[in-house]
Amino acid sequence: MSPSPENAVGRELILASNSPRRRELLESAGYHFRVIPPDPAAEDGLCSGEPPLHTAMRLARQKAENVAQKVSSGLILACDTIVVCCGQLLGKPEDRDHARQILRLLRGRRHQVITGLCLWDYPHGVPEVRSAVSALMMHDIADHAIEEYLATGLWKGKAGAFGYQDRLDWLVLLEGSVSNVVGLPMELLAEMLEQYRVLPDLG
């Protein structure tokens, strides 16, 4: 994406993510931004003993801090999405077998999608970190349905080994934001950006 115009506080919005889904959500909403992904090491750090909400928020801030080292200034937006089911914290699958294990755990069960969202007016402000939680139910799908989905490769790079945006008829949103399940809670983001007078371009 070409460099974006500065916003009302004299900062450009910087998306600290390599996720095409987050980029599409921002573009569809009409925001101007530039993409600077964090280093892969900044995306690691799942801790089994840490509350999931804290994990998502900590990782979001971790990504923002990493990208802050690459710019002189900017309104840095970073986020991290995790899935929690039966007390287990589920990140991105390591491979196809891992994805299969995750989907078999999720089927027939209610689970949560948690996103930590960090917005940092760097270098003058301090990181603001908030979170959004959505609840989903996955139907008790058959093994062949899981294998068909795995064959598409759409599970790659997605927390919980699935994408709500893949229009799977075996996923039901029970509570919360659809965009949060996709990876970027747009309602919460709009609220956070408002204090910086950053508004989408609806023209």
Q: What is the mean pLDDT of residues 100-123?
A: 95
According to the model, what pLDDT value does residue 203 have?
A: 62
**What does the pLDDT read at residue 3?**
36
Cβ(151)–Cβ(192) below 8 Å: no
Let me know if 80 is a catalytic residue.
Answer: yes
Q: Quick one: pLDDT at residue 144? A: 94
The mean pLDDT of 120-125, rounded to a whole number, is 94
Return the pLDDT at 177: 93
User: With bands split at pLDDT 50, 70 and 90, how would you rate the model's confidence at 5?
Assistant: very low
Catalytic entry in 39, 44, 80, 201? 80
pLDDT band at 97 (very low <50, low <70, confident <90, very high): very high
Cβ contacts of 163-171, under 8 Å, gap ≥ 24: 163/21, 164/136, 165/21, 170/107, 170/138, 170/139, 170/141, 170/145, 171/136, 171/137, 171/138, 171/139
CATH class, 13-194 region: alpha beta
pTM over cut 0.85: yes
Say if residue 87's pLDDT is above 90: no
Structural domain boundaries in the chain: 13-194
Q: Rounded mean pLDDT of 122-129?
A: 94
pLDDT band with cut points at 50, 70 and 90 for residue 183:
confident
pLDDT at residue 9 tops 70: no
Angle at 30 between CA 24 and CA 32, to 5 degrees: 85
Q: What is the mean pLDDT of residues 50-79?
A: 95
Cα 59 to Cα 178: distance, rounded to the nearest angstrom: 21
Nearest Cα neighbor of 173 from 162, 161, 164, 184 is 164
pLDDT of residue 25: 94
In a 10 Å sphere around its CB, with 0-12 CB exposed, 13-18 middle and 19+ buried, how is residue 125 labelled?
middle
